[in-house]
Structure 1
Amino acid sequence: MKKTLFLGAACVLLAACGTSGSSGAPPGAQGFTPPKMDALKALGQPEGALNVLAWPGYAENGSNDPKVNWVTPFEQQTGCKVNVKPFGTSDEAVTLMKTGQYDVVSASGDASLRLVASGDVEPVNTSLVPNYENVYPFLKNKSWNSVSNVAYGIPHGWGANILTWRTDKVTPAPTSWSVMFDAQSPYKGKVIAYDSPIYIADAALYLQAHQPDLGIKNPYALDDKQFTAAVDLLKKQRPLVSEYWSDYLKETQSLKNGDSVVGTAWQVTVNLAKGEGAPVESVVPTEGATGWSDTWMVAAKSTHKTCAYKWMDYVISPSVNAQVAEYFGEAPANSKACVEMTDKSLCDTYHANDAAYAAKIAYWTTPIAQCLDGRTDVKCKDYGEWTRAWTDIKG
């Protein structure tokens, strides 16, 4: 199942957050210096156990569906007995990682930098993950999975937050997010929007195209004026919205029933809705789209690091990455996964091999006070302020 995500109150990620014992290295592009930590130098004997913190659908062991099980083969191959703890939100994952009870976590970009800055995860030695070589280059060394070119995780899968609509209710076919943001939209009361503070970035991306005088260069790097404009846009959108979704299955049902006719969705939502007979289509609008790229990260306090590395290599191996992508509903990270798909059209559907498509996506990244667009003369709104604003937007 694809993640359900509502981000509540969060630790604000600042330059000073978790930096005791800092290496003194120059701050990364993200504007902070992570705590001093070394990546694992070499694999040892598997420790016999692994505690996995994962989005539902990323570590299936047959308990949800006997036919869907890639955990058991891993246990048989490595001797690492896997305990899986699914989480429902990025905030929940960040909180659980602080307990020190988990060895690896599948973190989205709105959580990964918080985990790095707080010292809850450590750099990864990609040479100990042979399948990393075949990860698409456009997913490597990005702002949500690395700092100063130091990798903090292994890319797993990705996707865009696309515009979808019912073709029998919305005409002509929309090509812009204006169908959701224009106060005069004819679909008032039938718009379905994403339920998360990170959705503020969708408004910022729209304003980047439609109000260039605001000077928005990165929808996750918003100064006071830019942030106010994005929040105001979402407040104006509020009367248009029939509901906010955090569970894609519920959104699928809303589109199928006609309770909503246009909204933000994942590709898996569109596929499911179509499969259930709903007349829906989707597009990445002219303004572009936000999206997510998930990363497997190793807990700094892990006592099962060899098992952790073996898991990361296994879960992005071509055959397993293909299984996860098909079940979960996403583009795989491994470039060799597509030939392993049962559904040979899936990689085309999810644009897995399309670097140009991937380049259109503004991937979720934790907003911090140090502007992610490189500006140093102003402060940007951090994640805590996004969270407070989102509560105000929804009312």
Structure 2
Amino acid sequence: MTKLSLNRRHLLKAAAIGSVALASPAYLRRAHASGGEVNIWTYNNFVPESFKKQFEADTGIKVNVRLVDDQGKQFNLLAAEQPNPTVDIMTVAGHRFLQFIDSDLLAPLDTGRLKNWGNINPTFSESDWSTIKGNKWGAPILSGMEVLSYNTDYVSAEEARTWDTLFSEKYANQTAYIIQDMMSIIMLKMGYDGNMVAYLDKPEEAARIVEEAKQFLIKHKPLVRKYYDGGAEIQQMFVNQDIVLGHSWNGPAAALINDGFPLDMTIPKEGSYGFVYTYNIAKNAPNADNAYIFLDAILSSPEIGAAMTKASGYISTYKDASNHLTDLEKKSTSFTDEELASLQFFRAEANKMKYGLIDPAVEAIKAA
């Protein structure tokens, strides 16, 4: 057994050390300092500290980062602040675009103001989900997926190839997952469309499927150690050996792997879902000009994309970013063809119906 005496502060320090110093883009070094500020709501480690310091020095723009850990909380906060939000740049997952757009919370992205838009891999920047109502709504920065993470000292690779292991008696009270995300995976595991697009015209069938998934999780509730919310939380549970396997995003898992913890991750044979994080500009953003300066700067080089991957563990959307990763970092952000074949991407078309059913189901599971 390998036990590392790690804590979150250590992990963040390690990530910071692993990030290369980022040279400031030439166009910024030549520019007259703009001054002012830009307010960003984003996830932990999505703005590399070395980039933030260099950007502030080059432009005179102070970067204020407010950490978020949940798309729903971010939506509710922004909705409460409109029409005068305090935020300039949001971090919205592509499959949640419609919720923000339909509620008139985001401004269409003017890619003509981003000289470095072409540095994004067109697989992400020009994909179907990225254009809604004829507009771009965000700059793709990182992509990820929901995986089964496991401590290799206790759980075998063969066991981790199925989601069933997460609900087995063998690992009772040694597991954790995010209930809302697990609902989609359980529906997929049962042979249903976890995106619920197939049931847009069949609301009764959609309700039945969500109920079936809910009852599955209620039945297996005695086996789970904890329902959690954020990446740092599951990292700490693994480090403390409170759990030996759990559903997670690949980013937090990759960070532990790169730090030397005996962890691995897989996309189980029943399948899972992938997603893309984007930077978006809030409608009525108080510092919109500075927001565009920030976005163009953070898109300016593959080295910055690699630094974002090093810090967050998610896969960069930038062209050639992987050329600036170590072999271990590449390993922690890649999957086999067999695993990727069972991966689907989250879609947004049925989100209103889906979350209208899932959100009450989640509360029922917690209360059961």
Please provide the CA RMSD for this pair: 3.1
Q: CA deviation at 1:203?
A: 1.0
Q: In the alignment, what sits opposite 1:72?
A: 53
1:50 aligned to 2:38? yes
| Residue pair 2:238, 2:244 contacting (<8 A) in 1 also | yes
Contact 1:146–1:153 (CA under 8 A) maintained in structure 2: no
- CA distances 1:149-197 after superposition (whole Å, capped 9, x unpaired): 531111010112111223343344331112124xx54323322222x42
Q: Where do residues 126-275 of structure 1 align in structure 2 (5 Å cutoff)? A: 126-142=111-127, 145-171=130-156, 172-181=158-167, 185-194=169-178, 196-208=179-191, 216=193, 218=195, 223-274=206-257
Aligned residues: 324
Q: CA deviation at 1:297?
A: 0.6
Q: Secondary structure at the match of 1:235?
A: helix
SS in 2 for 1:259: coil
1:96 aligns with 2:82: no
Q: Relative to 1, partners in 2 of residues 1:169 and 1:360: Cα closer, same or farther, differing over 3 Å?
A: same
Determine the C-alpha separation between the residues in 2 that align with 1:282 and 1:163.
Answer: 6
What SS class does the counterpart of residue 66 from structure 2 fall into? strand
In structure 2, C-alpha distance between the alignment counterparts of 1:272 and 1:203, rounded to whole Å? 26
The 3-state SS of whatever aligns with 1:71 is helix
Q: Is the 8 A contact 1:145 1:295 kept in 2?
A: no
Distance 1:360 1:133 in 2: 30
Q: How does 1:215-364 map to 2 (within 5 A)?
A: 216=193, 218=195, 223-274=206-257, 278-317=261-300, 318-341=302-325, 343-351=326-334, 360-364=342-346
After TM superposition, the structure 1 stretch with the greater mean CA deviation from structure 2, 273-282 or 117-126, is 273-282
Q: Distance in 2 between matches of 1:249 and 1:273?
A: 10
Counterpart AA for 2:231: Y
Alpha-carbon offset, residue 268 of structure 1: 4.1
How many Å separate the matches in 1 of 2:338 and 2:155? 28
Within 5 Å, give how 1:117-132 maps onto structure 2: 117-132=102-117
Tell me, yes or no, if the aligned pair for 2:207 and 2:357 is still in contact at 8 Å. no
Contact 1:200 1:230 (8 Å CA) reproduced: yes
CA distance in 2, matches of 1:248, 1:221: 30
Distance 1:169 1:338, change over 3 A: closer
> Does structure 2 retain, via aligned residues, the 8 Å contact 1:205–1:289?
yes
Shift of residue 363, structure 1, vs aligned partner: 3.8
CA apart distance, 1:299: 1.4
CA deviation after TM superposition for structure 1 residue 304, in Å: 2.8
Aligned sequence identity (%): 21
Letter in 1 for 2:344: A
- 8 Å CA contact retained: 1:97, 1:120: yes
Distance (whole Å) between structure 2 residues aligned to residue 305 and residue 355 of structure 1 = 41
Please give the per-residue CA displacement for 1:287-337, whole angstroms capped at 9, x wherever unaligned. Answer: 222233111111120243332222112223322222222112211110122
Letter in 2 for 1:125: D
Structure 1 unaligned residues grouped into runs of 5+: 2-44, 61-67, 209-213, 373-379
How far, CA to CA, are the matches of 2:230 and 2:364 in structure 1? 21
Q: TM-score, normalised by structure 2?
A: 0.76
Indicate if the aligned counterparts of 1:231 and 1:389 stay in contact, CA closer than 8 A: yes
Distance 1:166 1:53, change over 3 A: closer
Q: 1:58 to 1:198 in 2, by over 3 A?
A: same
C-alpha deviations, 1:58-92, integer Å up to 9, x for none?
A: 235xxxxxxx3312322333343333222232233
* Structure 2 residue 355 is the aligned partner of structure 1 residue 371: no
Measure how far apart 1:219 and its partner are.
Answer: 5.2
